[in-house]
A and B are shown apart, each in its own frame.
Chain A
Amino acid sequence: MQGSLIKQICIITLLTWSSHVGAADKCEQESNECTAIGKWNVGMAIGVGARSNPLLEGKSIPLVLVPTISYYGKHFFLNNLDFGWTLHDSASSSISFIASPGYDRVFFYRYDLQNFFVINQVVNNGSTATTTGQAFVSTDPNPDIQIGAQYIIRRYPDRSRDITYLAGPEWTFQIGKVSGQVDLLHEVTGKHDGNEIRAALKFPLISSLQSLSCSVGITWKSAAVVNYYYGDEAIYQGDSSLSPFIKVSYSRPLGTKWKLLAFIHYEQLGSSIANSPIVAMDHVNSGFVGALYAF
């Protein structure tokens, strides 16, 4: 229901969007597109929100206090938990080499940093950092583990999902008012050696004092990534997955320090993730309404 509403909004946007105003060629002042080199930007959002957890018995993750931090050097940048080195930067496109944390861990660990630094990323399940993936699955009858006529309920997969980082090239671009992003990432922390592609387009609906935009994108995960989080050698092995998403976001300044923020986000999980025995939902919903204070 929520997803179809967002889709309709985006389709209307795509049909009616016709203005093409080029971005400023050179950054000369602080704006939505430009920021000062060497300056730290720190903020805290306070509001009401949550992200659903698709794991079996997974609890939704509340979004109440959401910190944000960024820093831009001439080439280096830090954007919450992402960081990178920009090789080429212009009004129409930028090429960087970035590193970004593996995203799916948020569903297994309530206190994963990505459940706090949501502004630019987000989520969990109620479990602690030491006991994760506590889903139970009823397996087919197996002579070795069958007792009488009862199925054995196996604890699956009770293992840790470590913090991982993926790194690789990122291309971002601006065509008229539409901005885009493509990341080609490979896991570099030695946990699963998987690959990920993240890509998205953002269409502004209103871009005056207040800003309303619609984004569509995909996340492709290789089988290694899928199985590190959702697989088990004895029970389930998934293929690569493609998860599309759609998002509508709104922001409006409230004075010089405060900004009103809101978004709704719907992600359709790829079938190889949704078919995992520890996944109960084939989608993830997120939403937040709050105010961001810039220090």
Chain B
Amino acid sequence: MRFRICDLAFGLMSLLCIQFDSARAEPLSEAITMQLNPTVCALSVSDKLCKTTVHVQWRATQDESLCMIIVKRPDIKQCWEHYTEGTYNVDLTFDQDVIFQLRDLELQNTLASATLRVIREALQYRHRRRDPWSLFG
């Protein structure tokens, strides 16, 4: 019985760790990691767009030549040649998740990926007041 409880606890912890990692970054290669700051933009009911400066940082265990791109944003691209780490700041305005990727110089292979997520406050609706008595009602 004790063994089963430990198994269950380990399983839950593993599941939580996987979910946490997937929220921060998705390393495709153990040798290269990428982190974003911030990782989440929360939109309130009255907000339509996220507008923030995103700090991107990557590290590698050996010299790498790579480029950082943002999916569906061909105007943003930053490359490094023979570096083990790099940082990049970019001002972004967006209303959907933004996917950052590290790719080789030919942009063919994805080496690491991280997602800046947009969380919207759940909108609830109600009926407007019916006011035919008023002038513009």
Contacts and interface: CB of A to CB of B under 8 A. Distances in A.
By secondary structure, the A interface counts as strand
Contacts of B134: 120-121
A20 interface: no
Contacts of B131: 79, 82, 120, 172, 181
Nearest to A213: B132
Interface residues of B, number: 17
A90 B126 CA distance: 9
Nearest to A77: B129
Interface in B79-137: 123-137
Contacts of A118: 135-136
B127 A30 contact: no
A292 B54 CA distance: 38
A265 B125 contact: no
Given A79-B129, A94-B129, A94-B130, A36 B135 contact: no
Contacts of A94: 127, 129-130
A110 interface: no
Contacts of A29: 125
B46 interface: yes
By secondary structure, the B interface counts as loop
A247 B134 CA distance: 10
B132 A122 contact: no
A contact residues, range: 35 or more
A261 interface: yes
B130 A217 contact: no
Contacts of B128: 32-35, 72
B130 A265 contact: no
Contact of A247 (B123, B124, B125, B135): B135
Contacts of A91: 127
A37 interface: yes
Interface in A32-59: 32-40
Contacts of A33: 127-128
B45 interface: yes
Interface stretch (A125-133, A194-202, A268-276): A194-202
Given A38-B45, A39-B46, A120-B137, A200 B132 contact: yes
Contacts of A77: 129
Interface in A112-168: 118-122
Interface of B: 45-46, 123-137
Interface of A: 27-30, 32-40, 68, 72, 74, 77, 79, 82, 84, 86, 89-91, 94, 96, 118-122, 172-174, 179-181, 183, 198-202, 215, 217, 219, 247, 249, 261, 263, 265, 286, 288
The 8 closest A-B pairs by CB, nearest first: A202-B132, A27-B125, A200-B132, A172-B130, A200-B133, A119-B136, A120-B134, A179-B130
